[in-house]
Amino acid sequence: MKAVFSLLAGILFMSNMAFSQVKWSVDPAHTNARFEIKHLGIAFVDGEFTKLEGQAESKDSVNFDKGTVSFSIDVNSIDTRIEARDNHLKSDDFFSAEKFPKMTLSNATLTKAGKGKFKLTGDLTIKDVTKNVTFDVVQNNGTIIDPWGKTRAGFTAKTTINRFDYNIKYADKTPAGIDAVAPEVAITVNVELVKN
């Protein structure tokens, strides 16, 4: 009987090891969420959100296939290098930052799509709208041990969304009928993860 209990304990231990996850935290000092949008049909305006946080889980320290990701961005940290423009973007014409101070990515899962490449699919919430989005992700040079002994991994994720889908409804046009601010927004997130 003792042998049976030992066997069961061993199986449970091995099962727990098989399903254990490695936890990671986003390093905000080396992570940025950037955007680019066409202005007046002739040029692009870019900017970033400077305050964000996030977590990830992976099977182990090197395998991110089926890993999970969550992200939260402080909308009030928007920075396009022009204070008046930043204030306009925080207004009800765009993000309504006072009412909706956070945008989030939740229920997001990485799926391997080639060597060092992934698809990241999850629920993006901006203002009062949540929609499923997919990012194209590249892992930047695997995982490394930094000079202080911490394990780190870096990724670049890109997608394009239509801002009207998220109730960002500013719709001024030029006399020629061109959008002053285009509907399509290109998003790039550069992420550095630190193993907990």
Taking only the tens place, the pLDDT of each residue in 8-40 is: 445 444 444 444 599 999 999 999 999 999 999
Domain count, the chain: 1
Q: pLDDT tens-digit profile of 55-105?
A: 999 999 999 999 999 999 999 999 999 999 999 999 999 999 999 999 999
For residue 190, tell me if it sits in a domain.
yes
Torsion of CA 160, 165, 167, 170, to 10 degrees: 60
Are residues 112 and 138 in contact, defined by beta-carbon separation less than 8 angstroms? no
Is 54 a domain residue?
yes
Residue 13, domain member (yes or no): no
Instruction: Give the number of C-alpha atoms closer than 13 A to the C-alpha of residue 187, restricted to the C-beta side.
Output: 19
- 183 lies in some domain: yes
Q: What is the pLDDT of residue 43?
A: 97
In a domain, 11, yes or no: no
CATH number where 135 lies? 2.40.128.110
Q: Is residue 123 included in any domain, yes or no?
A: yes
In a domain, 8, yes or no: no
- The boundaries of the domain holding residue 90 are 21-195
In a domain, 7, yes or no: no
